[in-house]
Amino acid sequence: MDNFGYFLSEAPFLILIIWSAVKLVRWRRSRENRPWFSDKDHHMLFQAPQYGPHHWQFYPRFILAVLAVTTLGLLQFIALAPLGAAILAGAFILTSAAIVHEVILRRR
């Protein structure tokens, strides 16, 4: 039952972090007279990767992404765990998404 109480105290904070990030992006884009969701965003979120599992180049990139996410995740856990699960989860999701986007989805 103690774990459920911890979840109840951290869940609203995680939702607040996500909500604040979305509002910050919308505010910055509205100041620059850009749409909230552009064609570039759609392409970044829904593009097919250049290398799929049927290409040999996929596997070295996949291993590099797994090692990078694991290493940085452990370092983040050590540094951010005392600050709470919501901050740790937000930082981990953002870092993992950036690594996967740069290593696997970036066209080179």
Instruction: Please say whether the dihedral angle defined by the alpha carbons of residues 41, 42, 45 and 50, taken in this order, is positive or negative.
Output: negative
Range of the domain at 36: 2-105
| Long-range Cβ contacts of 53-58 (<8 Å, 24+ apart) | 58/104
Q: Look up residue 79 and give its amino acid.
A: A
**Lowest-pLDDT range of 22-26, 61-65, 76-80, 101-105:** 101-105
Q: pTM for the full model?
A: 0.63
Q: Please state the domain count of the chain.
A: 1
What is d(CA 44, CA 80) in angstroms, rounded to the nearest whole number? 28
Percent of the chain with pLDDT over 70: 94
Instruction: Say yes or no to pLDDT of 4 above 80.
Output: no
What is d(CA 35, CA 13) in angstroms, rounded to the nearest whole number? 28
